[in-house]
Amino acid sequence: MSIYLDNAATTPVCPQAAKAAYEAMTEGYGNPSSGYAIGQAAAAKVKEYRAVVAGRLGCLPEELTFTSCGTEGDNWAIRAAVEHGKRSGKHIITTAIEHSAVLEPIRALAAQGYEVTYLKPDKSGHVSIDDLKAALRPDTVLVSMMLVNNELGTLLPVAESAQAIKAAHCPALLHCDAVQAFLKVPFTPKELGVDLLTISGHKIRAPKGIGAQYIRKGLDLKPLLLGGGQENGLRSGTEPTAQLAALAAACEDWDTSAPARIAAVKAHALEVLSSVPGLEVVSPGDAPHICAISLPGYPSEMLVRDLSDRGIYVSSGSACHKGKPSHVFAALGLPKRTLMGVLRISFSPDSTCEEAGALAGALTEITQTRIAMR
């Protein structure tokens, strides 16, 4: 029996989402743009799905545009925001611990002449709102800040950033990558004060290939894709009704008590992991589902492999890095031996205290059978 503790990378699709996708593919297969009955029935379903997802996010249905994933949403938000503010300036603020889906398009903009300020975290992985305030300028056109860091589980000061932008009379739009926050921590886009916000389905037990972008009502953005005019003209292309059905079903299935249950399992995990010889907690995580630990002197790639051989699945950082060293953990200024042995543990509503105990036992066994590097 396998133990999956890498839910920040992706989640198993819940039965309700799989069933909804199957029914949409085999029964509600009409093209929503078609004028005949099964097409119009599909269009009505898309409207229902949008209302469900918007309801769980806490925004108006017309403020929600469906995308293929978080990376698409982040890229679109960043490029559209700087296009929106091109007459106001060429300064961008982000953090040094954003997902690569934010950092890479911003690096591309830097190569085109934009000036970028990277806010550095403290040793606990938190970003100072005072640093954000000091970085704001009259020519700042974009602030992009995630709500929950995907490798540390720390919360970033998004709402406070919105207030600071307003107080400074700065023209910047505020974008938030909320991929790891959606349904895990309480928020609405309005409460955060953001202009743009990105979510992804496969982090909440929907399939890969579906996400959504919140665009504040009244904000006029350049379309991502031109064509048939779907998604209110912002993202043309035939709507993926099966993925939309699954996303809505996953949102409906996600119990509001899930974050508390997940947090309880994580708390137990941190308690039992404290008994593993030499183990350090890099970040307990503010969000309920993510924490980061280290076995100094034991290469994380080896730990991931040894745990995998025992049927336990964790990661050495974001799965999106494709084997590259994590810029997030590096930004904390950890000692070299600690950085060498970092693991991210992330939980789901299906995770159990027994699984956490098995992880602790396996890591203890590894320390007894492997020699740490000096």
Task: Catalogue the E-assigned strands of 8-90.
Answer: 64-67
320 annotated active-site: yes
pLDDT in tens, the chain (374 residues): 899 999 999 999 999 999 999 999 999 999 999 999 999 999 999 999 999 999 999 999 999 999 999 999 999 999 999 999 999 999 999 999 999 999 999 999 999 999 999 999 999 999 999 999 999 999 999 999 999 999 999 999 999 999 999 999 999 999 999 999 999 999 999 999 999 999 999 999 999 999 999 999 999 999 999 999 999 999 999 999 999 999 999 999 999 999 999 999 999 999 999 999 999 999 999 999 999 999 999 999 999 999 999 999 999 965 445 556 689 999 999 999 999 999 999 999 999 999 999 999 999 999 999 887 87
Cα separation, 207 vs 10, in Å, equals 9
Q: In what order do the strands lie in the sheet with 140-144?
A: 64-67, 211-215, 196-200, 173-177, 140-144, 91-95, 115-119
Q: What is the pLDDT of residue 371?
A: 84
Cα separation, 339 vs 278, in Å, equals 14
Domains of the chain, each with CATH number or no CATH: 3-12+256-369 (3.90.1150.10), 15-253 (3.40.640.10)
pTM of the predicted structure, to 2 decimals: 0.96
Catalytic residue from among 14, 59, 170, 320: 320
Q: What is the pLDDT of residue 323?
A: 54
CB neighbours (10 Å) of residue 323? Answer: 8
Parallel, antiparallel or unpaired: strands 115-119 and 312-313? unpaired
Q: CA angle, corner 153, sides to 148 and 158, nearest 5? A: 25
